[in-house]
A and B are shown apart, each in its own frame.
Chain A
Amino acid sequence: MARFLPLKVTDVRRETRDAVVVTLAPRDEDRALFDFTQGQYLTFRRDFDGEELRRSYSICAGVDDGCLQVGIKRVDGGAFSTWANENLAPGDEIEAMPPMGKFSLPLDPDAARHYVGFAAGSGITPVLSIVKTVLRREPRSRFTLVYANRQISSIMFREELEDLKNLYLGRFSVLHVLESEAQEIDLFTGRIDADKMTQLFQRWIDPTSVDAAFICGPEPMMLTVAQSLRDHGLRDDQIRFELFASSQPGRAKARPVSKATEAGEGTQATVTLDGATRSFTMPREGQTILDAAIASNMDAPYSCKAGVCSTCRCKVLEGEVEMAVNHALEDYEVRAGYVLSCQSYPLTDRVVVTYDE
């Protein structure tokens, strides 16, 4: 089960107008837990007006940098990223889970590989961690980074990347693609699309030399780059992805105040699955929401039926249910209205649940 541990903020550096790089230190006793692999991320949690928000940010430090660092870019309307950009200061404490994620390949000190990375905007953070780590740990490997940004002033880690180029002369190159700033070479102006990818492979990167590719950015960029890599002969197992989803769930909506338990024979249940909603009457006792949904010919997901796996998770939108057992959902999920439907019995005469949220 996920465990949050305190991290001390030791430094906050303004990287661009709307992004900060935060350096963090675990407690001595947690140090080993925060050892990380290049490309991993940290999940933070914080209370905003009594609602818990969780956000994941990629570690931008290399594994040999000896510190824990994340880059946080402010998202319009994003409670967490705005708070981190405006309020976070050295000395603060913030809770995070140990590093997670598998956006990496095993390192091999003897390897002489050619890696390519495609990053858009703050998608640079995990890629930077990978760049720093492989250049140091694989002295014969090289890395080509294609880095897309809106304009020069929004490029995160611009100086650090220049320093890396000088430090690893001939082994690291960066191609900046800027959306709204003209550059000497047309190829590097605009957005990364299929045509640009093809030109890149024709003129700058020999696709047959590429051993592995890392892509990190929003959905359309991931699709475009991945498809082009495949079209140029890369296999699926040579492509590593880290999606920076554009549609992270916003602030958790408070659950409607539950009505008092009402006595009565049956419960009127309304269940939504795959956009289809069905209403039926179910007994107040002895049948779970899941079993009632299945009995109404709904193909609701489930597996263990013992409150352990969480396959059957759904969200209560109205009314109240009681879980007999819960070994899988965390308190914050329960507070947000999630229940294990295989363990949930109705308490009110009307219950509305959805498997789609």
Chain B
Amino acid sequence: MSDTMNIEDYLAQGGVLTAPGNVPARYRGELMRLMSSFVDSELAASAGFASSINFAPGIRERIAASRITLEKADHAERVLAVMGDFGTDTGRYQTQHDWAARVDRDTDLGATRREGDMRLSVFHYPINGWTDAVVMNVLQGLATGVQMQELTRISYAPLAEVFREIAPREARHAELGLKGLTRIVESDAGRAQAQTSIAYWRPRVAAGFGVANSARYQTQARLGIRRTPNETLLARWEQLTNEHLAALGL
């Protein structure tokens, strides 16, 4: 078995890469971009949830929000370590941006990332209370779950392994959110507040799936970094969200 194969053909057929040394240049660029988007999003999510801890109405909710804050930072650290294998100065990277910075609540960013860091646009918006934090966590948590199915199959094996470790904990964050939302909708006032927040967050979370027929997706798919088009992932999330919200009468 000493025959050789073009690395692009290998990737197109579902091949797996295992070390920075066997990664082609363009693959490297796309992989790094994806990892930094994940790291920045997790750090921004963690920073956002940090302030939500003080919105928590009780101890159990406080613990849930603290746990999400802690674990999202931990997930960022694990993926940043993989970037470090490619040369990223990880110490400098984590202090590069103000992860808690937010735009005004009524700004409309669409799907565009802001100059500075690569977090998904949804993580630029501020959370304005406990119900808002829970709703955002439910909607974005379900979106992360859909994205995770994609990320755990990424063709760079060391990263796929990290995502497989992270996935169940991210799923748990969404479950904590659904539990919190169940409690909130027990009162009419809570239900009304939740509905307001859903209207606010839903389009912003949806924007994170990117555009349909994306050229970037084509590039990433060719390299085995992605497998499912943006529009398919978005549709999956829409369906999942509808099911969960309907179960809560929302």
Interface size counted on chain B using CB atoms at 8 A: 50
* A308 / chain B contacts, CB cutoff of 8 Å: 88-89, 92-93, 96
Contact of B21 among A221, A248, A303 (CB under 8 A): A248
A308 and B117 alpha carbons, distance in the complex (Å): 12
* A86 / chain B contacts, CB cutoff of 8 Å: none
Give min CB distance, A75 to chain B, whole Å.
Answer: 10
Seen from chain B, the residues whose Cβ lies within 8 Å of a Cβ on chain A are 1-7, 10, 13-19, 21-22, 25-26, 28-30, 32-33, 36-37, 40, 83, 85-89, 92-93, 96, 115-118, 152-153, 157-158, 160-161, 164, 215-216, 219
Contact, CB under 8 Å: A236 / B117: no
Contact, CB under 8 Å: B85 / A356: no
- Identify the closest chain A residue to B113 (Cβ): A303
Contact, CB under 8 Å: A217 / B87: no
Q: Is A311 an interface residue (CB 8 A)?
A: yes
Contact, CB under 8 Å: A218 / B3: yes
The 24 listed contacts between A and B (C-beta, < 8 Å) are A2-B87, A120-B1, A121-B2, A148-B1, A150-B2, A219-B5, A219-B10, A220-B5, A223-B14, A241-B157, A243-B18, A245-B7, A246-B3, A274-B26, A302-B33, A304-B117, A304-B118, A306-B92, A308-B92, A309-B89, A310-B32, A328-B89, A330-B87, A355-B25
* A174 / chain B contacts, CB cutoff of 8 Å: none
- Identify the closest chain A residue to B115 (Cβ): A305
Q: For chains A and B in complex, what number of residue pairs have CB atoms within 8 angstroms?
A: 148
**Given known A-B contacts A309-B36, A310-B87, A328-B89, A222 and B15 have beta carbons under 8 A apart:** yes
**Given known A-B contacts A310-B86, A355-B25, A222 and B92 have beta carbons under 8 A apart:** no
Give the bracket for the number of chain A residues in contact with chain B.
Answer: 35 or more
Q: Is A213 an interface residue (CB 8 A)?
A: no
A357 and B161 alpha carbons, distance in the complex (Å): 27
Contact, CB under 8 Å: A236 / B160: yes
Contact, CB under 8 Å: A243 / B1: no
Q: Is A14 an interface residue (CB 8 A)?
A: no
Give min CB distance, B78 to chain A, whole Å.
Answer: 12
- Identify the closest chain A residue to B1 (Cβ): A120
Give min CB distance, A327 to chain B, whole Å.
Answer: 4
